[in-house]
Chain A
Amino acid sequence: MSSSLEDRLLEATVKLIEAAAVWLPSDVEEALRRAYEVEDNPVTRSFLKAMIDNVEIARAKRLPICQDTGVVMFYVRVGDRFPYIGLLPSILRRATVEATRRIPLRPNTIDVFTGRNPGDNTGRYMPWIEWELVEGVDYAEVTVLLKGGGSEVVARARNLTPAEGLKGVMKYVIEAVYEAGPQPCPPVIVSVGIGANVAIAMKLAAKGLIRPVGARHEDPEVAKFEETLLQAINSIGYGAHGMGGRVTALDVHVDYAPRHPATLSVAVAMNCWAARRATMRIYADGGIEYTTHPHLNKEVV
Chain B
Amino acid sequence: MAEYKLRTPLSEDVIRELNVGDVVYLTGVVVTMRDTGHKRAVELLSKGERLPVDMRGLALYHAGPVVRRVGDRWEVVVIGPTTSTRMEVYEYDIIEKTGVRMVIGKGGMGPRTAEACKRFGAVYTVYPGGAAALQAEQVRRVLDVHWLDLGVPDAMWVLEVENLGPLTVVIDSKGRNLYEEMYRMARRRIDEEIYPALGIR
Contact of A232 (CB < 8 Å), options: B68, B131, B183, B194: B194
- Distance in Å: Cβ of A185 to nearest Cβ of chain B: 4
Instruction: Give the contact stretch, choosing among B11-19, B90-98, B116-124, B133-141.
Output: B133-141
Q: Does A16 contact B (CB under 8 A)?
A: no
- Distance in Å: Cβ of A261 to nearest Cβ of chain B: 24
Q: Does B72 contact A (CB under 8 A)?
A: no
Contact of A54 (CB < 8 Å), options: B108, B130, B186: B130
Q: Does B168 contact A (CB under 8 A)?
A: yes
Residues A57 and B66 in contact, CB atoms below 8 Å apart: no
10 A-B residue pairs with Cβ-Cβ distance under 8 Å, sorted by A, are A42-B1, A54-B128, A64-B66, A67-B79, A68-B82, A104-B77, A153-B83, A182-B182, A236-B194, A244-B182
Task: Write the A75-119 contact mask toward B (1 if CB under 8 angstroms, else 0).
Answer: 000000000000000000000000000001111100000000100
Residues B179 and A64 in contact, CB atoms below 8 Å apart: no
- Distance in Å: Cβ of A29 to nearest Cβ of chain B: 13
Task: Write the A215-241 contact mask toward B (1 if CB under 8 angstroms, else 0).
Answer: 000000000000010001001111011
**What B residues does A64 contact at CB under 8 A?**
66, 77-78, 132-133
**What A residues does B199 contact at CB under 8 A?**
167
Residue of A nearest to B165 (CB): A50
Q: Does B190 contact A (CB under 8 A)?
A: yes
**What B residues does A19 contact at CB under 8 A?**
none
Q: Does A65 contact B (CB under 8 A)?
A: yes
Residues B63 and A67 in contact, CB atoms below 8 Å apart: yes
Residues A235 and B194 in contact, CB atoms below 8 Å apart: yes
- Distance in Å: Cβ of A175 to nearest Cβ of chain B: 8
Contact of A185 (CB < 8 Å), options: B65, B130, B137: B130
Task: Write the B36-78 contact mask toward A (1 if CB under 8 angstroms, else 0).
Answer: 0000000000000000000000000001111010000000011
CB-CB under 8 A for A46 and B106, given A153-B83, A236-B190, A272-B130: no
Residues B107 and A183 in contact, CB atoms below 8 Å apart: yes
- Distance in Å: Cβ of A178 to nearest Cβ of chain B: 6
- Distance in Å: Cβ of A255 to nearest Cβ of chain B: 20
- Distance in Å: Cβ of B14 to nearest Cβ of chain A: 20
CB-CB under 8 A for A181 and B107, given A67-B79, A106-B152: yes
Residues B108 and A182 in contact, CB atoms below 8 Å apart: yes
Known pairs A66-B129, A150-B82; list 12 more (Cβ under 8 Å): A51-B131, A63-B133, A69-B66, A149-B83, A150-B106, A174-B190, A178-B186, A178-B187, A181-B107, A181-B179, A241-B106, A241-B128
- Distance in Å: Cβ of A296 to nearest Cβ of chain B: 19
What residues of chain A have their CB less than 8 Å away from a CB belonging to chain B? 42-43, 46-47, 50-51, 53-54, 57-58, 61, 63-69, 104-108, 117, 148-150, 153, 167, 170-171, 174, 178, 181-183, 185, 228, 232, 235-238, 240-244, 272-274
Cα–Cα distance between A174 and B136 once the two chains are bound (Å): 35
**What A residues does B78 contact at CB under 8 A?**
58, 63-64, 66-67
Cα–Cα distance between A61 and B126 once the two chains are bound (Å): 25
Residues A53 and B131 in contact, CB atoms below 8 Å apart: yes
CB-CB under 8 A for A242 and B68, given A106-B152, A185-B129: no
Contact of A150 (CB < 8 Å), options: B65, B107, B108, B189: B107
Residues B190 and A51 in contact, CB atoms below 8 Å apart: no
Residues B182 and A50 in contact, CB atoms below 8 Å apart: no
**What A residues does B66 contact at CB under 8 A?**
64, 67, 69, 104-106
**What A residues does B197 contact at CB under 8 A?**
232
- Distance in Å: Cβ of A150 to nearest Cβ of chain B: 5
Cα–Cα distance between A238 and B65 once the two chains are bound (Å): 27
Residue of A nearest to B86 (CB): A153
**What A residues does B65 contact at CB under 8 A?**
67
Contact of A57 (CB < 8 Å), options: B63, B130, B137: B137
Cα–Cα distance between A153 and B85 once the two chains are bound (Å): 11
**What A residues does B133 contact at CB under 8 A?**
54, 57-58, 61, 63-65
Residue of A nearest to B166 (CB): A46
Cα–Cα distance between A117 and B129 once the two chains are bound (Å): 24
Q: Does B23 contact A (CB under 8 A)?
A: yes
Cα–Cα distance between A50 and B23 once the two chains are bound (Å): 13
